[in-house]
Amino acid sequence: MNETKNSIYFIGIGGIGMSALARYFNHAGWRVAGYDRTPSPLTAALEAEGIAVHYEDSVDRIPEAFRNRAETRVIYTPAVPADHAELYWFRAQGFEVLKRSQMLGLLGEGRRVMAVAGTHGKTTTTTMVAHFNAVAAGEGSAFLGGISKNFDSNLVLGTGVRMAVEADEFDRSFLQLHPQAAVITSVDPDHLDIYGTYEAVREAFAQFASQVVPDGTLILKHGVSLPLERADIWRYTYHVTDSGADFHAENLSVDGGGYYTFDLVFPDRRIDRCRLGIPGLVNVENCVAAAALVWSEGFTSNDALREAIATFRGVQRRFDFWVNDPSVAGGTIYMDDYAHHPAELRAMLTSVRKMFPERELTVIFQPHLYTRTRDFAPEFAEALSLADRVWLLPIYPARELPIPGVASEMILEGIASPQKKLITKEQLLTEVGALETGGVLVTAGAGDIDRFCAPVADLVRRKNRDLYGCTEKA
């Protein structure tokens, strides 16, 4: 990096990964500003930290301090369109313009990069790695794809050379990384608008795995197969319960709130009676993966890792319980999740079913992207059929234009549950208000459905309180 430059301008600064980089450079004393399409809690937080953000794609809005190409570097997210006016102007003026993934790769130089890749599960697993590093190893920074509840941020600034990163397969971004240690949680077909075929997805993950440095460590989910030949790295597998994996859990038990206690098995040791600080069997699997990655880089003691597991508080929008009071048997439980791929939905809903087998399960799902809906409508319908009741919102387009004939109805018609319907955002709270108390309510999706979490939670709490005297708060 050219250290004569002291200003960084972000195009798409409100994205979860972009905002972490913006925070990093702002904390390091660089001049930071940027554009995003719409205001959000993340952009509000950036502005509160002293970063100038505007919401109009206009060259005139670029601050004067960021118009000197000798002093300014531009970082953009591939989610912005190619015809973005500001991005076009910076390129035309000869500025140094980098993708977010390229900058993350540069920041990893000289550090021990601990990367978590996978088509689902990577955000929670990476955040666990960051927390386990801090508590069990006493060091480490991190760039996260979600807001950690332990750190109250998507950026962790710690001592030492460890750097935990979420390795994103979108646009092949993770190929900018050369980690010392890596976990791959899953390799499912996704982002086919980018890759074209599932085989191309597998090839990209194999290339990422091949970029682990010599004498580094690769840890694969048990059952994941990649075309990879490397004799100069350490290779392991993990699984939530399969004893054939190098890392796994044994003697699992679950309490009424869905919190698991288990023994954690490593190749060289065993840590008994671990209790994960967040509920759900899917999170036990994430815990095994994170613990395996931290094991590969070392930690201080078994007791320290046990403490780290117990004190992990989770990630916003990942298996995120807003209302959950097991002592009130008749109250509704409300959870929100970022799941936006059929495999994620299936894993999340299966875990919820196991936690609350006697309760009626209602899911409000917002499909994300027209291409993903087109490519996986039957798989979405199959996963959502695990619920007793399904309400579908219109597709959240994100970076895409509508595709003729592609709509939420494509998913709806394949859902097995007879209690299914399309609703609008304007109807959502009314429908929740009319829902019979006592079941489990889940909102899911990667769009803007999270804007409803707080009002839905308030509504559920009021109904619980009015009927059962429940005073539980998030």
Dist CA 363 CA 459 (whole Å): 16
pLDDT score of 132: 98
Write out the two tokens for 199. 């085989």
Lowest-pLDDT range, 92-106, 306-320, 322-336? 322-336
Above pLDDT 70, what percent of the chain? 97
Q: What is the mean pLDDT of residues 15-43?
A: 93
Each residue's pLDDT tens digit, 338-352: 898 898 899 899 989
Dihedral of alpha carbons 99, 104, 107, 111, sign: negative
pTM, entire model: 0.82
Vertex 469: Cα angle to 467 and 474 (nearest 5): 105
Each residue's pLDDT tens digit, 218-253: 999 998 988 888 889 999 999 999 999 999 999 999
89-122 per-residue burial string, b: 16 or more CB within 10 A, e: under 16? ebeeeebebbebbebbbebbeebbbbbbbbbbbb
Within a 10 A sphere around the Cβ of 135, how many other Cβ atoms?
Answer: 21
Residue 474 has pLDDT above 50, yes or no: no
Distances from the Cα of 215 to the Cα of 163, 224, 296, angstroms: 18, 21, 11
Dist CA 388 CA 409 (whole Å): 18
Dist CA 159 CA 163 (whole Å): 10
User: Which one has a higher pLDDT value, 460 or 466?
Assistant: 460
DSSP label of 436: P
- H helices of 28-93, where? 41-48, 85-92
Each residue's pLDDT tens digit, 105-163: 899 999 999 999 998 889 999 999 999 999 999 999 999 989 999 999 999 999 999 99
Binning pLDDT at 50, 70 and 90, where does residue 196 land? confident
Facing residues of 334 across strands? 323, 441
Residue 318 has pLDDT above 90, yes or no: no
Each residue's pLDDT tens digit, 419-430: 999 999 999 999
pLDDT score of 377: 95
Above pLDDT 90, what percent of the chain? 71
Q: What is the mean pLDDT of residues 399-412?
A: 92
Cα 259 to chain center, whole Å? 21
Distances from the Cα of 148 to the Cα of 64, 124, 129, 156, 315, angstroms: 34, 9, 11, 9, 5
Write out the two tokens for 399. 């970076």
pLDDT score of 188: 81
DSSP string, 348-404: HHHHHHHH-TTS-EEEEE--B-HHHHHHHHHHHHHHHTTSSEEEEPPPB-TT----T
pLDDT score of 469: 63
Q: By the 8 A CB rule, do 144 and 156 touch?
A: yes
Residue 470 has pLDDT above 60, yes or no: no
Each residue's pLDDT tens digit, 326-336: 666 688 999 99
Domains and CATH numbers, the chain: 7-100 (3.40.50.720), 108-310 (3.40.1190.10), 320-468 (3.90.190.20)
Distances from the Cα of 409 to the Cα of 367, 380, 402, 406, angstroms: 11, 12, 14, 8
Q: What is the mean pLDDT of residues 44-65?
A: 95
- Report the SS3 class of residue 473: coil
Q: Which long-range contacts (CB under 8 A, 24 or more apart) does 63-70 make?
A: 63/33, 65/7, 65/31, 65/33, 66/7, 66/9, 66/31, 66/33, 68/7, 69/93, 69/94, 69/95, 69/96, 70/4, 70/5
Residue 51 has pLDDT above 80, yes or no: yes
| CA nearest neighbour of 325 among 337, 334, 313 | 334
Dist CA 300 CA 294 (whole Å): 10
Indicate the average pLDDT of the chain. Answer: 91
Q: By the 8 A CB rule, do 33 and 9 touch?
A: yes
Dist CA 320 CA 449 (whole Å): 13
Residue 95 has pLDDT above 90, yes or no: yes
SS (H, E, C) 259-317: CEEEEEECCCCEEEEEECCCCCHHHHHHHHHHHHHHHHHCCCCHHHHHHHHHCCCCECC
Q: What is the mean pLDDT of residues 405-418?
A: 94
